[in-house]
Amino acid sequence: MKNLQKLPLYLFAVLTLGFASCESEDPEKENEGEVITDVILKFQEIDGSNNPVGSSFSFKASDSQGIVVGGAPTIETVTLTRGKRYQMNIEVRNSIENEDITQEIIEEADEHQFFFLGSAFTSNILSISYADPGGKLIGVQTRLTVSSSPGTNNTSMRVVLRHDLNKSFSGASNPNFENFVQAGGESDLDITFPIIIN
Amino acid sequence: MPKFPLKKLFATLFQKLWFNKYSPPTFATMIQKVIFSIALFAFAVTQVSAQKCDLVLRGKILHLENDQPIEAAYVWILETRTGAVTDQNGNFVIRELCPGTYTVTVQYLGHKEIRETINLSGSTTNQTFKMQEESMDLSGVEVHGHRDAVQTTTAVTSLYGEALLQSRGESLGESLKRVAGVTTFSTGNTISKPVIHGLHSNRIMILNNGIRLEGQQWGAEHAPEIDPFLADEITVIKGAETVRFGPEAMGGVILVNPPTLPTNKKHTTELNLLGGSNGRMGNFAASHSGGSEKIQGLGYRVQGSVKRAGNIRTPNYYQANTGMAEYNFSGSIGYSSKKLGIEGYYSYFDTEIGILRDSHTGNLTDLIEIIQNGEPFIKPDFTYEINNPKQVVSHHLAKLKAHYHLSPEMKLNFQYGFQLNQRQEFDRRRGELNARPSLDLELFTNTLDIFLDHSRKSSWSGSVGINVIQQANSNIPGTGVTPLIPNYDMVNGGVYLMEKYLKGPLEIEGGIRYDFRKVSAARFIGNELQEAELDYQNFSAFLGGLYQLSPYFAFTTNLGTAWRPPNVNELFSQGLHHGAAAVEIGDPNLNSEKSLKWVNGLEYEGKKASVEFTAYLNQINDYIYLNPTGETFVSLRGTFNVYEYLQADAFFYGFDLSGTYSFSEKFNGYLKGSIIRAKNTETQTYFPFIPSDRMDWGLAYSFGNLANRITLSNVLVAKQTREPEFDLAPAPPAYALFNLGYNRKFKLGENQFNVGLQVNNLLNTEYKEYMNRFRYFTADMGRNILLKLNYQF
């Protein structure tokens, strides 16, 4: 057991090694890949055979960057004309990373779905149907019909994007499905747009 | 003697003292009450015990050179031809002695025999014998293994032997529920953190073979990274032990200790095979230890375990994504001689835990909907598959320990520990981000202890030492999320001194310690670099005593201060917490928490009954807690509640009671219970997640040469009526559970084979536990039938 006399030396070596290697890394900037900062509703008037009429127009909802307590997103008021039909396309963006997230949502069609709720639908001012290419029920592309005799000019539309839901849940094929939470999953977006009908 | 009216009087006095609604407790009145209660107890005890030929000789056998207890030493009284063998703590008791003078001999292999004359007159005599090792050249000398059993005057409870065997297959937190006063703070049924006297996470400490476990313990959903299978004894110290163990040991300390390494050539192996019906759990563990034939004193042990379980079932449905997998390994090698002891130890813990799918909500609306629903929306079938959200955690711990006897009275100790904790948390995310963790942390910890123990043949013993903790936390880049906590470096240095005086039935102990801590943290929030340099320092001290009141009664008391510097998450949190649909905001200006805990224990050990009663008071100044601000944060995602970290003075007090009673050799009963009260004394409000009153009692019947035992037990948990002003959902109602167990011991030649069949939640009762964070989303675990096989050879 002669070696044991060198023990303190070994211990010291292990110690220096251990303590020297123990330093935290410099922090790095993180690309916020998942944050949605802008949601744009693009409206294109269509005729009876779904052909475009005139030029399109859009309304935007955007978040302040980072967490601001008491802050609220800026949401533009949507203006539509009574009796007309529109094709609505939703564009979802991350302006921090300058990314278009819409494509990701379309690629994961089996995990995502938009639902459209609020007084615009319950008061029969608007009616909506899914019109995504390939017949998928996502809601990135929809068709809206504005009532020709709405009871009021001021209404609102709540747009909810659900992620990881059971799309075959009974009732989930309805874009106005109120009990969407029962289909499981979580909300990635929940925005209420004010609407004025001219 | 008018026994009965006296008893009644004590009971009424006691009731009046503690359950008087009209006097709100302050620290001073509480102390008065406790002192009075203790006096009452002591008086009651002396009233009840009668005097005759029932004297008791009680004591402890220790190694002279290091004060370590000697197990299996033989104590013999020549005149009466009666004797006893010391237990693993070196304690022995010889009862039913008449007053007179006796010759006592103490024998232990390789040690000089002690022969002393003792005069027994009082009801009890307490004697400590210290044995000196004989020279090594004697043939047949067995070198003893050194074991650092805790020697403290604080209330201590250990889980070992059969109790530990019955807890096999459970996580550390679940196992410790067997100790009165310990509950769990859990997240579903797979993540549970031990709670001692209402405190958990960074307010208690867990030691893995003597090294303080340093994981990301701040998180409510971060379970301790330790395999209970590596232990042959789990000890809970219920006092403030900052002086001995360093900052944060405020509510108590949990020691997870592996068995002593063998020092002879005996080889032992233990195999455990367990299966559970709920979650279709399978668990296998093996350990093997042996000693070298060539080098005396050289021993080793290897140990490992594997655990796999799938979706857990409540009485009526499966919880989605609640499977888990765990792989553990540990190994150690040690050498022990007369003067030198050295040990190397390594343990590895690896786990993957699925998190209940519906607990991960998008915003406040989602959260409210699921709470109103009372159960998850997704109820899948059984599967072992683990999907996001999930946690993947691994923990490496390596330790090098050595001691050297400078002289028969002086021992120099050295202990170095290295730890690496890797934690990844995955959320449900879009696209390729789903494969990336949203929290990815790597935590390195170095701990160094150097201390000098001294013990003399006289009654004094003690130690003086230094302790250094160095820590580095890094976020692994690429998560695509602003880190919840920053990267940081921390250094903590401490010096301490403890002394103990031992004389007859009395043991007095005290100590002081000074610590300083330096934290430097940095992270990017967006493009902005946020940096902070923080310093903390503190003095702590404790004073404790143990007194053997009568042959069967021992009283302990311990008054200790403790402190805890604020944790990084409390200082710097800023982000979304999906499980609570909350934004949590830290405060870099928080002060250290400082506490004063007074624990009193009364232990009775009779022939038929044993009782352990613990009462405590804990005043915590600047207690840090998460407070709902009432404000909300609105984003395109929806609305979130905003919480901030605040400080206020807090006062905790409570009792633990545990007892056993033997109706006959075959028929036994036990009872355990605890009561905790905790209040914010500044706002006169209650804190969230304080365990409600609970009790556990059972009856056991043994038959067939006592090799078979059937146990029926009943757990009663009251509703937590002392709720905070804000909670997402009201406290769940009270519940009662029944458990049934059957154990059988077989002797297969020299070998031991144990079979256990347990049914937990026998009646498949649907319930929610207040201390489970997932009570918002789901009912707790339903019936679980477990088969446990244990083979030792």
Burial of B290-309, coded b for 16+ CB within 10 Å and e otherwise, reads bbbeeebbbbbbebbbebbb
Q: Is residue B510 part of a domain?
A: yes
C-beta of residue B317 within 8 angstroms of C-beta of residue B375: yes
C-beta of residue B24 within 8 angstroms of C-beta of residue B528: no
Res B51: pLDDT: 41
Q: Is the pLDDT assigned to residue B576 strictly greater than 90?
A: no
- What whole-number distance in Å separates Cα of residue B208 and Cα of residue B225? 9
- What whole-number distance in Å separates Cα of residue A187 and Cα of residue A180? 10
Annotate B1-41 with DSSP letters as a single string. Answer: --HHHHHHHHHHHHHHHH--TTS---HHHHHHHHHHHHHHH
- The tokens describing B513, both together, are 């310690």
For chain A, the C-alpha Rg in angstroms (whole number) is 26
- Claim to verify: residue B187 and residue B41 sit in the same structural domain: no
Phi, psi of B32 (to 5 degrees): -60, -45
Q: Is the pLDDT assigned to residue A60 strictly greater than 80?
A: yes
Annotate A14-69 with DSSP letters as a single string. Answer: HHHHHHHT--PPPP------S---EEEEEEEEE-TTS-B-S--EEEEEEPPSS--T
The verdict on a CB contact (< 8 Å) between B636 and A37 is: yes
- What whole-number distance in Å separates Cα of residue B464 and Cα of residue B449? 11
Res A24: pLDDT: 86
Strand partners, B326: B307, B351
Q: Is any Cβ of chain A less than 8 angstroms from the Cβ of B431?
A: yes
- The tokens describing A93, both together, are 């963006």
- Which has more confidence, B118 or B611? B611
Q: Which residues of B touch A4 (CB under 8 A)?
A: 340, 342
DSSP annotation of B270: E
- State the virtual CA torsion across B173, B308, B715, B605 in degrees, nearest 10: -60
Residues B177-197: what's their mean pLDDT? Answer: 92
pLDDT digits (tens, 9 = 90+) for B377-431: 988 999 999 998 999 999 999 999 999 989 888 899 999 999 999 999 998 888 8
- The tokens describing B79, both together, are 């005149």
The verdict on a CB contact (< 8 Å) between B479 and A108 is: no
**CA dihedral (A109, A110, A112, A117) positive or negative:** positive
- From the number of C-beta atoms within 10 Å of its C-beta (0-12, 13-18, 19+), residue A174 rates as middle
CA A46 to chain B, closest CA, distance in angstroms equals 29
Res B399: pLDDT: 94
Q: Which of B86-95, B141-150, B266-275 has the lowest mean pLDDT?
A: B141-150
Q: Is any Cβ of chain A less than 8 angstroms from the Cβ of B302?
A: no
pLDDT digits (tens, 9 = 90+) for B778-789: 999 999 999 999
pLDDT digits (tens, 9 = 90+) for B124-148: 677 888 887 764 333 333 333 333 3
**CB-closest option in A7, A66, A70 to B526:** A66
pLDDT digits (tens, 9 = 90+) for B310-360: 999 999 999 999 999 999 999 999 998 888 889 999 999 999 999 999 888
Q: Is any Cβ of chain A less than 8 angstroms from the Cβ of B317?
A: no
pTM of structure: 0.83
- What's the pLDDT band for B264 if we cut at 50, 70, 90? confident
C-beta of residue B535 within 8 angstroms of C-beta of residue B493: no
Res B143: pLDDT: 32
- Which has more confidence, B123 or B321? B321
Res B426: pLDDT: 92
Q: Which of B258-262, B353-357, B518-522 has the lowest mean pLDDT?
A: B258-262
- Residue B12 half-sphere exposure toward CB, CA atoms < 13 A: 6
Res A65: pLDDT: 65
**CB-closest option in A61, A65, A187 to B363:** A187
Secondary structure (3-state) at B156: strand
Q: Is the pLDDT assigned to residue B60 strictly greater than 90?
A: no
Probe site for chain B from A14, A22, A115, A192 (most B CB atoms < 10 A): A22
Give how many domains chain B has, as a whole number. Answer: 3
- State the virtual CA torsion across B172, B175, B180, B184 in degrees, nearest 10: 50
- What whole-number distance in Å separates Cα of residue A126 and Cα of residue A157? 9
- The tokens describing B186, both together, are 């859990």
> CATH classification of A38-197, choosing from 2.60.40, 3.90.550, 1.20.1740, 3.40.50?
2.60.40
- What whole-number distance in Å separates Cα of residue B223 and Cα of residue B221? 6
- Claim to verify: residue B258 and residue B208 sit in the same structural domain: yes
The verdict on a CB contact (< 8 Å) between A29 and B524 is: yes
- Claim to verify: residue B107 and residue B191 sit in the same structural domain: no
Q: What is the ipTM of this complex?
A: 0.88
- What whole-number distance in Å separates Cα of residue B740 and Cα of residue B448? 46
Q: Which residues of A touch B378 (CB under 8 A)?
A: 166, 184
Q: Which of A88-92, A173-177, B367-371 has the lowest mean pLDDT?
A: B367-371
Cis amide linkage into residue B224, ω under 30° from 0: no
The CA-atom distances, in angstroms, between B394 and each of B231, B286, B440 are 19, 20, 12
Helix ranges (H only) for chain A are 7-20, 102-107, 119-122
Q: Is any Cβ of chain A less than 8 angstroms from the Cβ of B361?
A: yes
Annotate B779-791 with DSSP letters as a single string. Answer: -----EEEEEEEE
Give the end of a domain, one of B34, B51, B68.
B51
Q: Which residues of A touch B634 (CB under 8 A)?
A: 71-73
Strand partners, B529: B524
Query: Cα A69 to the chain's mean position, in Å?
Result: 21
**Residues spanned by the domain of B28:** 1-51
- Residue B706 half-sphere exposure toward CB, CA atoms < 13 A: 5
Res B92: pLDDT: 86
Res B126: pLDDT: 78
- Claim to verify: residue B60 and residue B44 sit in the same structural domain: no
- What whole-number distance in Å separates Cα of residue B44 and Cα of residue B52? 19
Annotate B350-381 with DSSP letters as a single string. Answer: EEEEE--GGGS-SSHHHHHHHHHHSS-S----
Q: Is the pLDDT assigned to residue B40 strictly greater than 60?
A: no
pLDDT digits (tens, 9 = 90+) for A110-128: 999 999 999 999 999 999 9
Give the end of a domain, one of B139, B169, B194.
B139
Q: Is residue B149 part of a domain?
A: no
Annotate B95-124 with DSSP letters as a single string. Answer: EEE-SEEEEEEEE-TTB--EEEEEEE-SSE
C-beta of residue B103 within 8 angstroms of C-beta of residue B33: no
Res B474: pLDDT: 94
C-beta of residue B403 within 8 angstroms of C-beta of residue B435: no
- Claim to verify: residue B395 and residue B471 sit in the same structural domain: yes
Res B609: pLDDT: 93
Strand partners, B145: none
Residues A35-63: what's their mean pLDDT? Answer: 92
- What's the pLDDT band for A159 if we cut at 50, 70, 90? very high
- Which has more confidence, B414 or B26? B414
pLDDT digits (tens, 9 = 90+) for B363-376: 888 889 999 998 99
Res B185: pLDDT: 94
- Claim to verify: residue B409 and residue B554 sit in the same structural domain: yes
C-beta of residue B85 within 8 angstroms of C-beta of residue B106: no
- What's the pLDDT band for A70 if we cut at 50, 70, 90? low
- CATH number of the domain that residue B613 is part of: 2.40.170.20
Q: Which of B535, B544, B636 is nearest to B599 (CA)?
A: B544
Q: Is residue B144 part of a domain?
A: no
Count the neighbouring beta carbons within 10 Å of the beta carbon of residue B425.
25
Q: Is the pLDDT assigned to residue B237 strictly greater than 60?
A: yes
Query: Which residue's entry shows tokens 């580095």?
Result: B472
Res B715: pLDDT: 96
Res B50: pLDDT: 38
- The tokens describing B142, both together, are 């067995």
CA B363 to chain A, closest CA, distance in angstroms equals 7
Q: Is residue B333 part of a domain?
A: yes
- The tokens describing A85, both together, are 């039909």
Annotate B675-720 with DSSP letters as a single string. Answer: EEEEEETTTTEEPSS-PPPEEEEEEEEEETTTTEEEEEEEEEE---
CA B248 to chain A, closest CA, distance in angstroms equals 21
- What whole-number distance in Å separates Cα of residue B31 and Cα of residue B36? 8
Q: Which of B528, B635, B480 is nearest to A38 (CA)?
A: B635
- What whole-number distance in Å separates Cα of residue B135 and Cα of residue B534? 54
Q: Which of B272-281, B335-344, B381-390, B765-774 has the lowest mean pLDDT?
A: B335-344
The verdict on a CB contact (< 8 Å) between A24 and B487 is: yes
Phi, psi of B512 (to 5 degrees): -135, 160
The CA-atom distances, in angstroms, between B41 and each of B140, B210, B549 are 50, 36, 11
What amino acid occupies position B503?
K
Res B9: pLDDT: 52
- Claim to verify: residue B109 and residue B175 sit in the same structural domain: no
Q: Is the pLDDT assigned to residue B607 strictly greater than 80?
A: yes
Res B72: pLDDT: 79
- CATH number of the domain that residue B75 is part of: 2.60.40.1120
Q: Is the pLDDT assigned to residue B660 strictly greater than 80?
A: yes
Q: Is residue B540 part of a domain?
A: yes
Q: Is residue B4 part of a domain?
A: yes
- What whole-number distance in Å separates Cα of residue B214 and Cα of residue B588? 22
- Claim to verify: residue B475 and residue B593 sit in the same structural domain: yes
Nearest CA in chain A to B418: A18
- What whole-number distance in Å separates Cα of residue B397 and Cα of residue B762? 39
Res A155: pLDDT: 94
Q: Is residue B150 part of a domain?
A: no
Interface of B with A in 566-585 (CB under 8 A): 574-576, 583, 585
Residues B211-216: what's their mean pLDDT? Answer: 93
The CA-atom distances, in angstroms, between B676 and each of B71, B217, B582, B650, B715 are 36, 23, 28, 13, 17
Q: Is residue B681 part of a domain?
A: yes
- Claim to verify: residue B476 and residue B528 sit in the same structural domain: yes
Q: Which residues of A touch B488 (CB under 8 A)?
A: 24
- Claim to verify: residue B37 and residue B166 sit in the same structural domain: no
- Which has more confidence, A89 or A48? A89
Q: Which residues of A touch B483 (CB under 8 A)?
A: 27, 30
Strand partners, B760: B784
Percentage of the residues of chain B whose pLDDT score is greater than 70? 89
- What whole-number distance in Å separates Cα of residue B629 and Cα of residue B644? 7
